[in-house]
A and B are shown apart, each in its own frame.
Chain A
Amino acid sequence: MEAKAAGSEKHHLPNRLGVKGWVWAGHYTIERYLYTLHRLTGLGLLLYIILHLVMNGFRLGGAESWTDLMELFGNPGFKVGEYLVMAAFIFHALNGGRLILQHLGYTLGSPKPPVYPYVDSMRRRRPIVWVMGVVIVGLAIYVLVEFVA
């Protein structure tokens, strides 16, 4: 019985914090907030894809219907939304690349002896986060300039 319970728990580890755990469970590092932002941008992009496909359906109404819709999207409010989608994509893509490299073990580095002061692998990989952040900000500014231009 205990073995069965342990096996069941193995497949369904309890998530006692729920969504609140995305934001705060004490002493989170910057990587944990990147995880939260990765999910939020992912859900936002999924919602955008659905809206984008619904919008594409206006093509079935012919040229006039499509042109009317495009005129509506010329509105500055929609332009801001469009920019936010592109910024979310830039973040999600680059952070996703970091996660893939990390999950496959390419950024772990070679093992080091545990000599005081101890530096865990998360902190050893921190420069990758900073480089990624600089690239994200740079691309977001470039896209912003293109949008304004």
Chain B
Amino acid sequence: MKETQLKILQYISGIGLFFFVGAHLLVSHLSSGDPTTWVSVSGRAASSGWLAFYIFLLIFGIYHGLHGLRTIILEFSTPNPVVKVLNWVLLAVGLAVFGYAVYIPINAF
């Protein structure tokens, strides 16, 4: 993919995160009641709507975070061969984190 396309995806994921993380923080940290109890957490994990919500949150969050990290690293005059390795490493890390994060709700409850 071209750098401009990656950048546009960075913007789109950033806008998505604004709403997804905002909703997550409102529900998990600022709402009344206790949303972090085992019953609340397992209830959300059993809901397909909440699972879809968290999967979108994960996709946007992982892409936005790792692409942001890549942007910072590339500013340090990174040579082309290193950039290629970095791209593969970040892709592998992103997929591994996504797999681990999805594995938890599927297997924990």
Contacts and interface: CB of A to CB of B under 8 A. Distances in A.
A90 B30 CA distance: 14
Given A12-B79, A18-B76, A86-B29, A42 B68 contact: yes
A66 B41 contact: yes
Interface core residue of B18, B78, B79 (most chain A CB under 10 Å): B18
B97 A63 contact: no
A82 B25 CA distance: 10
Interface string A33-66: 0000001001101100110010011011011001
A100 interface: yes
Interface string B42-67: 00010000000000000001100110
A62 B107 CA distance: 10
B97 A53 contact: yes
Contacts of B72: 39, 43
A70 interface: yes
A146 interface: yes
A143 B30 contact: yes
B104 A56 contact: yes
Given A46-B68, A49-B65, A12 B41 contact: no
A117 to B, nearest CB: 34
A89 B25 contact: yes
Interface of A: 11-15, 18, 39, 42-43, 45-46, 49-50, 53, 56-57, 59-60, 62-63, 66-67, 70, 73, 82, 86, 89, 93, 96-97, 100, 103-104, 143, 146
Given A60-B104, A103-B11, 12 more contacts: A12-B78, A12-B80, A15-B77, A39-B72, A42-B65, A42-B68, A43-B72, A59-B104, A59-B108, A59-B109, A104-B11, A143-B30
7 contacts: A12-B78, A59-B104, A82-B29, A89-B25, A93-B18, A100-B14, A143-B30
